[in-house]
């Protein structure tokens, strides 16, 4: 039974990030807290309000090396002082509206007028999950964003080395990561891929060693039509995993192969793989409406048609980020494929130091299984052997004897001759389109060869 005199204080508590408490709208100052023991005692009680913490447990945690009788006296005194800190109008500590006495201990009143950020976070997160299960994506997003607003940093970040806070901190981190991932998925379900990407980027700033985040980010970049960025995400993930002595999972490697090969994946399938229930989307990535670059597309198609006379064409697509280069390229490649062309694709990234010819060899490796023995005969055996030794290992099964080892510096001429042989081959009648993405990142050796 409560016998408080006057109106009880209204409290607001922040446990995420920097610990702060407001009493009737005004922050409680350090001078008012008096000691860290008062703060620690309050944090323990308010973090799990309603739970009765035994005196013995509190003493073992806060006064582990103090004689039992003195520790009990210290606990009673601190409880009394804490009640007056929270409710200055109190004349007797036992009548507190916030700190209640229970059998053998103390608890924070579950019915007290107190707003606690971790509780607000949990309530919004739970409602968001229920709405997401009902496929109410927009309503779920609002609840997820509301929950994310309350997460202002690690749980009790200034108590980083307190044993009683470590487990809870890690649990809240995992919950926060789950929330951001689910929020990104909801944005993706509505086709708002840039917002999904932004939430993935936020996750990477906090948890850059989670492969699942890179998996999401690759898919969302691909769904925007930016294949190059999706591939760069994979390369960055590979470097992070390598520092940990790990390799990419089969799932991530398979996604990389699919995107590298330009295989069109249904958004429904990609999003379902992330754990989101199937929901109809307005278009597939390969059939999204193409607007704003019709003139440029017509010009590139004209160059493609001009190759029918046997003369090759070089087309450079350049411009600022976000201007539609990837979408224009996607349309061109789809058109070339419809015309029966063989498409060889590769991209330049920041990992070419050990293999400066990788964009060229990566593309040529795609055609090796399709080449006949007659087409390979136009290339000198010694060059084929050098390529098979390193740059294009797929050639090894096509050669009669194991080739000698060679380094990247010796591969310029063999790669050039293989390219020329393919271009001039009369045995190969299909048009050939060689697409290299992100050429600005090419090594000097690749640039010279291209």
- CA dist., res. 377 & res. 399, Å (int): 11
Decide: pTM greater than 0.75.
Answer: no
| 377 within a domain of the structure (yes/no) | yes
Asked whether residue 128 is assigned to any structural domain, the reply reads: no
> Is 314 a member of any domain?
no
- Mean pLDDT confidence for 330-334: 73
In which domain, by residue range, is 62 found?
11-112
Phi, then psi, of 80 in degrees rounded to 5: -60, -45
The model's pLDDT over 127-165, given as tens digits with 9 standing for 90+, comes to 999 999 999 999 999 999 999 999 999 999 999 889 889
Q: Torsions phi, psi of 442, nearest 5?
A: -70, 150
- Collapsing DSSP to helix, strand or coil, 135 comes out as coil
Angle between the N-to-C axes of helices 412-424 and 381-389, in degrees from 0 to 180, rounded to the nearest 10 = 120
**Residue 229 falls within a domain, yes or no?**
yes
CB atoms within 10 A of CB 15: 28
- The verdict on 181 and 274 lying in the same domain is yes
The answer to whether position 132 is within a domain reads no
Question: Of 133, 155, 148, which is closest to residue 178 (Cα–Cα)?
Answer: 148
Q: Taking all residues of the chain, what is their mean pLDDT, rounded to a whole number? A: 80
Of 287, 307, 324, the position where a domain reaches its end is: 287
Whether residue 335 has pLDDT greater than 50: yes
Q: List the CATH number of the domain containing 283.
A: 1.25.40.10
88 and 201 assigned to the same domain: no
pLDDT confidence bin for 397, thresholds 50/70/90: low
Distance separating alpha carbons of residues 78 and 237, to the nearest angstrom: 50
CATH number at residue 54: 1.10.10.10
> What is the rounded radius of gyration, in angstroms, for the C-alpha atoms of the chain?
32
Same domain as 358, residue 443: yes
Tokens in use for 237? Answer: 């993930």
- Report strand pairing: 53-54 vs 105-108: antiparallel
- Please check whether residue 146 lies inside any domain of the structure: no
Beta-strand pair 99-102/105-108: antiparallel
283 and 177 housed in the same domain: yes
Q: What is the pLDDT of residue 87?
A: 92
Which residues are CB-contacts of 351 (< 8 A; sequence separation ≥ 6)? 235, 238, 239, 358
Q: In whole angstroms, give the CA distance from residue 288 to residue 305.
A: 24
| In a shared domain, residues 98 and 170 | no
Are 170 and 278 part of one and the same domain?
A: yes
Q: Are 11 and 119 in contact (CB under 8 A)?
A: no
Residues with Cβ < 8 Å from 152, sequence gap 6 or more? 14, 16, 17, 18, 117
Residues 274 and 372 in one domain: no
Residues 246 and 351 in one domain: no
pLDDT value of residue 144 = 97
Once rounded to an integer, what is the mean pLDDT over residues 340-358? 67
Is there a domain that residue 412 lies in? Answer: yes
Q: Which two tokens mark 198?
A: 């932004």
Q: What is the domain count for the chain?
A: 3
Residues 171 and 279 in one domain: yes
In terms of domains, do 353 and 435 share one?
Answer: yes
Q: Are 211 and 106 within one domain?
A: no
pLDDT of residue 133: 93
Angle at the Cα of 112 from the Cα atoms of 95 and 48, rounded to 5 degrees = 105
> For residue range 72-84, what is the model confidence (pLDDT) as tens digits?
999 999 999 999 9
- Residues 277, 349 within the same domain: no
d(CA 362, CA 359): 5
What Å distances lie between residue 90 and 7, 82, 101, 283, CA to CA? 10, 11, 15, 65
Question: Is the distance from CB of 204 to CB of 217 less than 8 angstroms?
Answer: yes
Query: Residue 138's pLDDT is what?
Result: 93
The verdict on residue 361 lying in a domain is: yes
């Amino acid at each position: 039974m409560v016998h408080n005199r006057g109106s009880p204080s209204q409290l607001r508590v922040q446990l995420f990030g920097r610990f702060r408490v407001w009493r009737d709208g005004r922050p409680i100052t350090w001078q008012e807290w008096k000691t860290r023991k008062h703060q620690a005692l309050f944090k323990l009680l308010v973090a799990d309000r309603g739970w009765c913490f035994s005196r013995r447990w509190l003493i073992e945690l806060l006064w582990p090396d103090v004689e039992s009788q003195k520790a009990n006296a210290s606990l009673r005194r601190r409880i009394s002082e804490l009640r007056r800190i929270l409710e200055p109008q109190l004349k007797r500590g036992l009548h507190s509206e916030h700190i209640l006495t229970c059998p053998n201990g103390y608890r924070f009143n579950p019915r007290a007028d107190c707003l606690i950020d971790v509780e607000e976070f949990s309530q919004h997160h739970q409602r968001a999950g229920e709405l997401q299960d009902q496929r109410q994506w927009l309503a779920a997003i609002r609840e997820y964003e509301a929950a994310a607003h309350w997460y202002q940093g690690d749980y009790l970040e200034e108590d980083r080395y307190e044993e009683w806070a470590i487990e809870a901190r890690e649990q809240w981190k995992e919950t926060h990561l789950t929330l951001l991932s689910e929020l990104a998925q909801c944005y993706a379900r509505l086709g708002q891929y840039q917002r999904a990407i932004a939430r993935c980027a936020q996750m990477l700033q906090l948890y850059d060693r989670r492969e699942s985040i890179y998996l999401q980010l690759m898919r969302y970049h691909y769904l925007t039509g930016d294949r190059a960025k999706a591939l760069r995400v994979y390369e960055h993930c590979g470097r992070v995993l390598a520092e940990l002595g790990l390799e990419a999972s089969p799932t991530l490697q398979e996604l990389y192969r699919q995107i590298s090969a330009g295989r069109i994946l249904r958004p429904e399938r990609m999003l379902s793989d992330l754990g989101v229930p199937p929901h109809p989307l307005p278009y597939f990535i390969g059939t999204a409406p193409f607007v704003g670059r019709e003139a440029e597309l017509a010009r590139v198609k004209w160059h493609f048609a001009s190759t029918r006379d046997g003369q090759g064409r070089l087309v450079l697509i350049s411009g600022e980020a976000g201007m539609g280069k990837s979408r224009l390229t996607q349309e061109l490649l789809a058109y070339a494929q419809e015309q029966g062309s063989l498409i060889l694709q590769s991209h330049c990234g920041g990992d070419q130091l050990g293999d400066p010819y990788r964009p060229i060899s990566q593309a040529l490796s795609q055609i090796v299984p399709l080449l006949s023995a007659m087409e390979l005969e136009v290339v000198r055996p010694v060059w084929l052997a050098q390529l098979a030794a390193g740059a294009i290992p797929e050639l090894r099964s096509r050669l009669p004897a194991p080739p000698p080892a060679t380094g990247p510096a010796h591969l310029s001429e063999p790669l050039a001759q293989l390219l020329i042989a393919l271009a001039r081959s009369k045995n190969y009648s299909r048009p050939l389109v060689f697409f290299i993405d992100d050429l600005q990142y090419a090594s000097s050796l690749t640039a010279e060869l291209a």
